[in-house]
Structure 1
Amino acid sequence: MPIAFPTLLCGIILSQHLGILVKDDIPCKRKSTLSLDYRLFEGAHSANIATPSVQQSSATLTRKQMIADLKDVSKALGEKKSKLDRVIQALELEEDAEVMKGEQEDKEDAAAGSSEDEQVEDSDESPTI
């Protein structure tokens, strides 16, 4: 964060002393072009972030092409759904394991607590904490 402090300090000084900054000191604002690296649109992830800029009109699609496109979309969604189902299943298994572990600890605590109660009942002394 070495750049933030001087920027903050200059901002405070300039806001308190308006005469320091003149119109010639203000940098001009230029419109910069947005450049994207071609590698962003390559690979398996590109389908998730880049859509084709020119959509095919539905009038030029034949029924066979439309059916093939819909099957491709259905297959892609099915693969994503199966991945999501596996994640849900893994989380449910972890949750069940934690519940079972908690129940087992509760049983052990209850068993340990009852043995302490039995010891206190047998003795004439009060329990020490």
Structure 2
Amino acid sequence: MVVVIRLSGNERSEFALVIILYMGMWAQHDVLTYAMWKCAITIVQLFMMMIMMMIKIVMMKIKRCLCEDDVHDVDDDDDDDDDDDDDDDDDDDDDDNDDDDNEDDDRDEDDKYHEFGGNDAN
């Protein structure tokens, strides 16, 4: 006797159930053996579906990261060129100010020398 129960609506599941029932009848197993086989097949199917979903999610994340990297690289290159020109102008102004700062530092050292009783003649 062969009983086909359509639980998942999948033709492969039906085929597997028929094979399992034939094996069960041939080996004269009871209903519990069939239930264990059905549970095992269902668990394997669910596990395979979970793996496929995880693969899809990882592929979507990789695709999104690759697309974002391409967009950011293009924007960063344009911004860097503009920033470099501005930085060059600022650096010239800073160089002039650095010379003035160095003269102030020299005066401060002279003042410290006088505070500690250094020779003015040297």
Q: Which has the higher helix share?
A: 2
Does 1 or 2 have the higher relative contact order (CA < 8 Å, sep 6+)? Answer: 2
TM over 0.5: no
**Larger Rg belongs to:** 2
TM-score by length of 2: 0.44
TM-score by length of 1: 0.42
